[in-house]
Amino acid sequence: MVEHDLLEVCAIEQMSDLSTWGWDAYHRELQAMPESIMLAARVDSTFHEYQIAGFIVTRIVADEVHINNVAVRPEFRGQHIGSELLRHALHQAQQRGATVARLEVRAGNQAAQRLYRHCGFEVDGRRKKYYREPTEDALLMSLVL
Ligand SMILES: CC(C)(COP(=O)(O)OP(=O)(O)OC[C@H]1O[C@@H](n2cnc3c(N)ncnc32)[C@H](O)[C@@H]1OP(=O)(O)O)[C@@H](O)C(=O)NCCC(=O)NCCS
């Protein structure tokens, strides 16, 4: 992902019911490379009015990589773009020394939980009322790399 991608990243974020980070937060995260791993899945812009089908934002802290955001344009979901983004990010994190991956996910977000399970994550905890608007528990998931 590069700075030029961020407007589209913010548009995908908005159509995905994610907690809003917004342009500034993504831009700050880009500056945090190489600790941050931010990837964009590109489409052929000859056929579409946009260039990005999905993105992932992760951050390495010590030997852990934290999955912050992953989202795919609604019309591209179910085509393994989310799992490919996650696999690439985990691979890069492993190459940079991460030994475990962690994330929180809304307890009601079945699509995301299925994606994470598909990539090997397992639930290892729950945080009550972790999310706002709407209030919801978070499931904690992790994967040994
Ligand atoms: C979660 C998300 C990123 C998945 O992306 P995707 O490209 O559609 O996922 P994939 O095609 O790689 O699918 C991976 C697995 O999840 C399953 N899956 C994907 N969407 C699903 C849905 N709506 N319901 C049930 N399972 C779903 C797939 O079937 C696949 O599992 P399987 O191989 O066992 O069948 C996408 O739905 C999305 O952008 N959601 C909104 C944003 C979000 O909730 N992000 C996660 C929290 S940060």
Ligand 1 within 6 A of CB of 112: yes
94 lines ligand 1 (CB under 6 A): no
Strand order in the sheet with 136-144: 36-42, 52-61, 64-72, 100-106, 136-144, 122-131
Contact 40, 29 (CB under 8 A): no
Can you tell me whether residue 25 is helix, strand or coil?
Answer: helix
For residue range 25-82, what is the model confidence (pLDDT) as tens digits?
A: 999 999 998 899 999 999 987 777 889 999 999 999 999 999 999 999 999 999 999 9
Catalytic residues: 104, 116
Q: Which CATH architecture has domain 3-144?
A: 3-Layer(aba) Sandwich (3.40)
109 CA from centroid of ligand 1 (Å) = 9
Take atom 43 of ligand 1 and give the residue whose Cα is closest. 71
| Reported pTM | 0.94
Q: Is 69 in the pocket of ligand 1 (CB under 6 A)?
A: yes
Q: At what angle do helices 81-95 and 110-118 cross, to 10 degrees?
A: 50
Angle among Cα 28, 30, 32 to the nearest 5 degrees reads 75
Q: Using a 6 Å cutoff on CB, does residue 138 contact ligand 1? A: no
Residues above pLDDT 70, as percent of the chain: 100
The predicted pLDDT at position 17 comes to 84
